[in-house]
C-alpha cells in the first residue's frame, strides 16, 4: 500500500493531489537553486491539479486503485508538471491573500505526506451543496441506501477541478462555476446518485 494513504478516510480525497506534489518535488530538486527561489510551489501544484484528471476515492482500496490508474498516465503527468513549474515562475500575484499560510512562496512545508489542498478545490462546496439538495428530495427508504460521500466523489471525478491558492482566485473560480457549470454539476450529481443506488459501497472511479 502507498505510504501516503491514510488508514481512515472520513471524507473523499483526491489521489492526484499527493501524486502531483511528490512529482513536483522530484522535478524541483533537479533545478538550480537560483531557479528554485523563483518558483511558488503551491501555484505549481494548483496549476497541475486543474489540468490533470481528478481521482477522488472514499476507501483505502479505492485510493490504491486510483494510484494504480495514475501510474498509467505518468507521461502526461510529467508534461503538465513541467508546464506548471514554468507557469509558477511567471505568476507574481502582488495583491492576493493565500488560502493557507503554506501557500506563501517562502514556505516549503507542503509535502506529499501532508498535503494541504483538501479545501482549495472551489468545486467541492458546489458539488457538496448540489448533492445534499438532490438527496433531500428522495424518499427515506432510498436515502438509506446511498452513501453521500460516494456521490460527492463520483461527481468530483466528472466535473472540472477548480483549485486555487488564493482567496481571490478561489472566489473567482466559484463565480465562473456558478455561471457556467451548474447544469453540468446537477446532471452529474443525478448520475452519481443513481450509481450509488446500484452499489451501496462503490469504489469511486471514472
CA dist., res. 155 & res. 152, Å (int): 5
Reported as a single tens digit per residue, the pLDDT across 73-82 is 999 999 999 9
Reported as a single tens digit per residue, the pLDDT across 141-164 is 888 889 999 999 999 999 999 998
Q: Who contacts 101 (Cβ-Cβ below 8 Å, separation ≥6)?
A: 107
Report the candidate in 27, 17, 36, 18 with the shortest Cα–Cα distance to residue 163. Answer: 17
CA dist., res. 28 & res. 86, Å (int): 11
Residue listed under C-alpha cell 497541475: 48
User: If pLDDT is split at 50, 70 and 90, which confidence band does 5 have?
Assistant: very low
Average pLDDT, the chain: 83
CB 149 within 8 A of CB 135: no
pTM: 0.82
Question: Would you kindly state where each structural domain of the chain is located, as residue ranges?
Answer: 13-96, 123-198
Q: Who contacts 134 (Cβ-Cβ below 8 Å, separation ≥6)?
A: 186, 189, 190, 193
Amino acid at each position: 500500500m502507498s505510504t501516503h494513504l491514510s488508514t481512515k478516510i472520513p471524507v473523499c480525497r483526491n489521489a492526484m493531489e499527493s501524486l502531483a506534489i511528490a512529482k513536483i518535488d522530484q522535478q524541483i530538486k533537479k533545478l538550480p537553486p537560483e531557479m528554485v527561489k523563483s518558483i511558488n510551489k503551491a501555484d505549481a501544484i494548483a496549476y497541475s491539479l486543474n489540468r490533470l484528471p481528478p481521482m477522488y476515492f472514499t476507501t483505502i482500496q479505492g485510493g490504491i486503485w486510483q494510484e494504480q490508474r495514475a501510474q498509467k498516465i505518468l507521461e502526461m503527468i510529467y508534461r503538465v508538471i513541467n508546464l506548471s513549474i514554468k507557469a509558477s515562475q511567471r505568476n507574481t500575484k502582488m495583491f492576493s491573500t493565500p488560502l493557507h499560510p503554506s501557500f506563501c512562496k517562502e514556505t516549503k512545508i507542503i509535502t506529499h505526506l501532508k498535503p494541504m489542498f483538501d479545501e482549495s478545490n472551489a468545486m467541492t462546496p458546489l458539488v457538496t451543496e448540489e448533492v445534499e439538495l438532490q438527496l433531500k428530495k428522495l424518499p427515506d427508504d432510498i436515502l438509506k441506501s446511498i452513501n453521500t460521500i460516494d456521490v460527492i466523489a463520483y461527481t468530483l471525478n466528472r466535473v472540472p477541478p477548480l483549485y486555487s491558492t488564493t482567496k481571490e482566485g478561489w472566489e473567482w473560480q466559484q463565480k465562473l462555476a456558478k455561471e457556467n457549470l451548474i447544469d453540468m454539476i446537477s446532471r452529474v450529481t443525478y448520475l452519481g446518485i443513481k450509481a450509488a443506488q446500484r452499489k451501496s459501497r462503490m469504489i469511486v472511479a471514472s
